[in-house]
Chains A and B, each alone.
Chain A
Amino acid sequence: MGLLLQWRDLGVRLRGEAGAPPVVSGLNLDLHRGECVALTGPSGSGKTTACLAPFGLMNGRMEMTGVARFAGLPAWNQCEQTGIERVAFVLQEPVNNFAPHLNIISQITDFNAYITEEKLRKWCVELGLDDGSRLLRQYPHQCSGGELQRLALVAALAQEPALLVADEPTAALDATSRDAWCRVVRRRCECGLAVLLVSHDPQVLAAVANRQIPVGLRPIPLADLPQNTVEMSELADDVLLTVQLQDSGSAQLPGGRGCLTLAPGQNLTVTGPSGVGKSSLLRLVLGLPSPWKGQVEWRGKGLCVWPAPSRARLSSVMGAVLQDGRSSLNPQRTALDGVSAGFRRRGNSWRASRHRAAEELAALGVPTECWPRTPSELSVGQAQRVALAQALACEPALLVLDEPTSAQDLGHRQRVVDRLLLAQRQHGTALLVATHDAELVVALGGPTLPLLPAGPTPTV
């Protein structure tokens, strides 16, 4: 009875791509109760597809081959809950775990009406989410990415599953909450929960996984970065961006300042615990709906007092990648098309735009067969890099990036950092980056802006 999930020669391919290699092929797995197995591999190697496709969660173009059995039955009908054993999922992009129109607790009790709120609150506390009384009543859009990701684990555990499929479940978490996450899952495993984990984070893998299965042995080639020798002339010593904060929610800037400035070509990394308002600050700068209020000045000119109807003037001087890379991409446009549109806007010919977009995508390690795919057919990591390529295509004076490497493996993260620093050398691009990733902060250099929650700091 110990064997819960079994794959034999599992493969997935996309219909209508005859020549292209399959997304996943030849996977074998035996997952027993109380065991945690991690799938590892570079971004775009098909880890997510391998986790979800056997349970019938796949795009209409996908086709599965091989055998996948869950608790002795074919795995695909588990989503209809025919068996007693349940599978719970923590999906890759935190937002996708919840329906947008219901508050968190009603979605959890939909799945399991017998779960008590005290129990949920206890789990929230274990995961480092204060006592959960506020969070559980909130709607998904009111929670930060990291909070949603932990609530997704609470929701999954509330279903009392036999198997937990967790896809990059700690990508939006800071170090403290990541360790709490690992502790909770480890303890569950000791009680018999089987976990199928996908993660790029070596610390999570070391803390939780019993063993690792490599997916996608085919190496994904990284093209050379375009080594343009044109260096920037010295940067004008002025102020690019000033933000005067009027209302910053429950967060405060270090030293109680209400103002931050950014010079051309400067890096500023925004850090802070999950839920403190890093994304809110970035959205304020971009002129998107944000709970923060303030005045944003661009090169000394007041551009926008939030809320403002539009800020078309600012266009083409900023590039943006939102927290979930895929949400920055038009679902109708293929990767190559979306990136070349940026070059087109800058007055390049159609052919030259396609050529430069192809170079840009290759430089960021997006494989050739992915170029004619739409965002839903890309892996989350690939979509994030396509979104970055799309932003870089505008040759912006300021790049605003929200967790730009959350879905990247180590190799691709290094490539993203190299590309960003190259853009900085070539075009004097200023970077405003929000991240949890301490190594990214170090790699980018430049000052950091640690955001702190106002009021007494919570005891850990």
Chain B
Amino acid sequence: MTRKLTLFVLVLAAVGPLGSGGDGYAVDWAALDSTAGALHGFPGNHWLGTDELGRDLWVRLCLGLRGSIVVGVLALLFAALLGTTLGALMGVLRGVSGGLVDRAVEILAALPVTVLALVVISTGGRGLWPVAATLGALGAVPVARAVRVALLAATSAPYLAVARIHGAGFWEIARWSYAPAVGAACGTACRLLLPQLLVAEGLLGFLGLSLPEPGMTLGSLLAEGSGRLSHAPWAVATPAAAVFLLLLATRSRA
């Protein structure tokens, strides 16, 4: 069920915009002029109608979905990479350097997402990479913790001691003991993390801190639509439904 839903959402993000034109900024002057035009929904060739600038809302919805998925997945990859590295360091390092890494991760965990995003935007500019990096840095914390615990458990396993006594080198132990444990822990943490990253991305988008124009995400569409809530509620309802579908599709099976 979840797999089919995931496939559906991905297909929607990939080919949905082709439904009517495919350009989220193309202005339909005819729709603006007609009496049944902007924001009235379902007129002829615009499935969800257009906004007050005559831009097709269906196309924008699918493009926003695509933007959210791209940012979320990129942030997840970043979180997996950074989290595994930090977790491995936490699992291996002892003493002062180990303490430093531990504290760094704790500080990272304590940072609120919006503040960090504002700092990144004010210093490093906007765009896909800074947003993904910000979200990924925050998402790295649970991954790092899971990897650290898995690594500590693997290190204290009796069969590892026996393998060492039998002369297994570092690479053999890494291949047969550390890698499976770290891989499993990282995989589990990432599955739990993806929906959280998508929600955080939605928050940033709503505040206008996610992808800059002309890029769009579901968050920024929600922000746009919120101004028209009284006369065109579907302009908010459809991105909200898309967020709901996206979270349903990425939730982990129990």
Instruction: Find out whether the CB atom of A286 lies under 8 angstroms from the CB atom of B161.
Output: yes
Cβ 8 A contact of A391, one of B166, B172, B180:
B166
Instruction: Find out whether the CB atom of B166 lies under 8 angstroms from the CB atom of A319.
Output: yes
Instruction: Find out whether the CB atom of A286 lies under 8 angstroms from the CB atom of B158.
Output: no
> What total of chain A residues lie within 8 Å of the partner, measured CB to CB?
29
Indicate whether A322 reaches chain B with its CB closer than 8 angstroms.
yes
Q: What is the minimal beta-carbon distance from B231 to any residue of chain A, in angstroms? A: 56
Instruction: Find out whether the CB atom of B165 lies under 8 angstroms from the CB atom of A320.
Output: yes
Indicate whether B167 reaches chain A with its CB closer than 8 angstroms.
yes
Instruction: Find out whether the CB atom of A394 lies under 8 angstroms from the CB atom of B167.
Output: yes
Q: What is the minimal beta-carbon distance from B173 to any residue of chain A, in angstroms? A: 9
Cα separation A314 to B168 with both chains bound (whole Å): 12
- Residues 134-148 of A contacting B (Cβ, < 8 Å): none
Indicate whether A315 reaches chain B with its CB closer than 8 angstroms.
yes
Q: Which A residues are in CB contact (< 8 Å) with B169?
A: 345
Indicate whether A327 reaches chain B with its CB closer than 8 angstroms.
yes
Cα separation A425 to B158 with both chains bound (whole Å): 29
Looking at chain B's contact residues, is the secondary structure mostly helix, strand, loop, or mixed? Answer: helix
Instruction: Find out whether the CB atom of B167 lies under 8 angstroms from the CB atom of A328.
Output: no
Indicate whether B164 reaches chain A with its CB closer than 8 angstroms.
yes
Instruction: Find out whether the CB atom of A328 lies under 8 angstroms from the CB atom of B168.
Output: no
Instruction: Find out whether the CB atom of A333 lies under 8 angstroms from the CB atom of B166.
Output: no
Given known A-B contacts A328-B158, A330-B159, A312 and B164 have beta carbons under 8 A apart: yes
Given known A-B contacts A322-B158, A341-B172, A332 and B180 have beta carbons under 8 A apart: yes
Indicate whether B238 reaches chain A with its CB closer than 8 angstroms.
no
Instruction: Find out whether the CB atom of A342 lies under 8 angstroms from the CB atom of B158.
Output: no
Q: Which A residues are in CB contact (< 8 Å) with B176?
A: 330, 332-333
Q: What is the minimal beta-carbon distance from A324 to any residue of chain B, in angstroms? A: 9
Instruction: Find out whether the CB atom of B161 lies under 8 angstroms from the CB atom of A288.
Output: yes
Question: Hey, what's the 0/1 contact readout for A387-427 against B, CB within 8 Å counting as 1?
Answer: 10011011010000000000000000000000000000000
Indicate whether A287 reaches chain B with its CB closer than 8 angstroms.
yes
Q: What's the interface size class on B, roughly? A: 10 to 19
Indicate whether A103 reaches chain B with its CB closer than 8 angstroms.
no
Given known A-B contacts A328-B159, A341-B172, A287 and B180 have beta carbons under 8 A apart: no
Q: What is the minimal beta-carbon distance from B235 to any residue of chain A, in angstroms? A: 49
Indicate whether A316 reaches chain B with its CB closer than 8 angstroms.
yes
Given known A-B contacts A332-B176, A332-B180, A333-B176, A327 and B164 have beta carbons under 8 A apart: no
Cα separation A332 to B163 with both chains bound (whole Å): 13
Indicate whether B96 reaches chain A with its CB closer than 8 angstroms.
no
Cβ 8 A contact of A322, one of B162, B166, B180:
B162
Question: Hey, what's the 0/1 contact readout for A309-323 against B, CB within 8 Å counting as 1?
Answer: 010101110111110
Q: Which A residues are in CB contact (< 8 Å) with B172?
A: 341, 345
Indicate whether B196 reaches chain A with its CB closer than 8 angstroms.
no
Instruction: Find out whether the CB atom of B162 lies under 8 angstroms from the CB atom of A320.
Output: yes
Q: Which of A287, A329, A330, A345 has the most CB of B within 10 A?
A: A330
Cα separation A288 to B156 with both chains bound (whole Å): 10
Cα separation A328 to B157 with both chains bound (whole Å): 9
Cα separation A113 to B158 with both chains bound (whole Å): 34
Indicate whether A331 reaches chain B with its CB closer than 8 angstroms.
yes
Cβ 8 A contact of B168, one of A288, A310, A319, A345:
A345
Cβ 8 A contact of A327, one of B158, B165, B167, B180:
B158
Cα separation A330 to B177 with both chains bound (whole Å): 7
Closest to B180 in A: A332
Question: Hey, what's the 0/1 contact readout for B180-192 against A, CB within 8 Å counting as 1?
Answer: 1000000000000
Cα separation A390 to B163 with both chains bound (whole Å): 9
Q: Which B residues are in CB contact (< 8 Å) with A332?
A: 176-177, 180
Cβ 8 A contact of A328, one of B162, B177, B180:
B162
Instruction: Find out whether the CB atom of B163 lies under 8 angstroms from the CB atom of A316.
Output: no
Q: Which B residues are in CB contact (< 8 Å) with A333?
A: 176
Instruction: Find out whether the CB atom of B159 lies under 8 angstroms from the CB atom of A315.
Output: no
Q: Which B residues are in CB contact (< 8 Å) with A394?
A: 166-167
Cβ 8 A contact of B165, one of A319, A330, A331:
A319
Q: What is the minimal beta-carbon distance from B185 to any residue of chain A, in angstroms? A: 14
Instruction: Find out whether the CB atom of B159 lies under 8 angstroms from the CB atom of A287.
Output: no
- Residues 297-355 of A contacting B (Cβ, < 8 Å): 310, 312, 314-316, 318-322, 327-333, 341-342, 345
Closest to B173 in A: A330
Cα separation A17 to B177 with both chains bound (whole Å): 26
Q: What is the minimal beta-carbon distance from B106 to any residue of chain A, in angstroms? A: 25
Given known A-B contacts A330-B177, A333-B176, A316 and B166 have beta carbons under 8 A apart: yes
Instruction: Find out whether the CB atom of B167 lies under 8 angstroms from the CB atom of A345.
Output: yes
Q: What is the minimal beta-carbon distance from A96 to any residue of chain B, in angstroms? A: 14
Q: What is the minimal beta-carbon distance from A104 to any residue of chain B, in angstroms? A: 21
Q: Which A residues are in CB contact (< 8 Å) with B159?
A: 327-331
Question: Hey, what's the 0/1 contact readout for B139-170 against A, CB within 8 Å counting as 1?
Answer: 00000000000000000001111111111110
Instruction: Find out whether the CB atom of B161 lies under 8 angstroms from the CB atom of A345.
Output: no
Q: Which A residues are in CB contact (< 8 Å) with B177?
A: 330, 332
Q: Which A residues are in CB contact (< 8 Å) with B164?
A: 310, 312, 315
Cα separation A328 to B167 with both chains bound (whole Å): 14
Q: Which B residues are in CB contact (< 8 Å) with A287?
A: 165
Cβ 8 A contact of B166, one of A310, A327, A331, A342:
A342
Closest to A324 in B: B158
Instruction: Find out whether the CB atom of A318 lies under 8 angstroms from the CB atom of B165.
Output: yes
Q: Which A residues are in CB contact (< 8 Å) with B160?
A: 330
Q: Which A residues are in CB contact (< 8 Å) with B158?
A: 288, 322, 327-328
Q: Which B residues are in CB contact (< 8 Å) with A286?
A: 161, 165
Cα separation A321 to B161 with both chains bound (whole Å): 11
Q: What is the minimal beta-carbon distance from A29 to any residue of chain B, in angstroms? A: 35
Q: What is the minimal beta-carbon distance from A334 to any residue of chain B, in angstroms? A: 11
Closest to A326 in B: B159
Cα separation A314 to B102 with both chains bound (whole Å): 33
- Residues 199-219 of B contacting A (Cβ, < 8 Å): none
Instruction: Find out whether the CB atom of A390 lies under 8 angstroms from the CB atom of B165.
Output: no
Q: Which residues of A contact B (CB under 8 A)?
A: 286-288, 310, 312, 314-316, 318-322, 327-333, 341-342, 345, 387, 390-391, 393-394, 396
Q: List 13 A-B contacts (CB under 8 A).
A: A287-B165, A288-B161, A315-B166, A315-B167, A316-B166, A327-B158, A328-B158, A330-B163, A331-B159, A332-B176, A341-B172, A345-B169, A390-B162
User: Given A316-B166, A330-B177, A390-B166, list of 17 further CB < 8 A pairs?
Assistant: A287-B165, A310-B164, A312-B164, A316-B167, A318-B165, A319-B166, A320-B165, A322-B158, A327-B158, A327-B159, A328-B162, A330-B163, A333-B176, A345-B166, A345-B167, A345-B168, A396-B166
Top 7 nearest A-B pairs by Cβ distance?
Answer: A316-B167, A315-B167, A328-B162, A327-B158, A394-B166, A330-B159, A320-B165
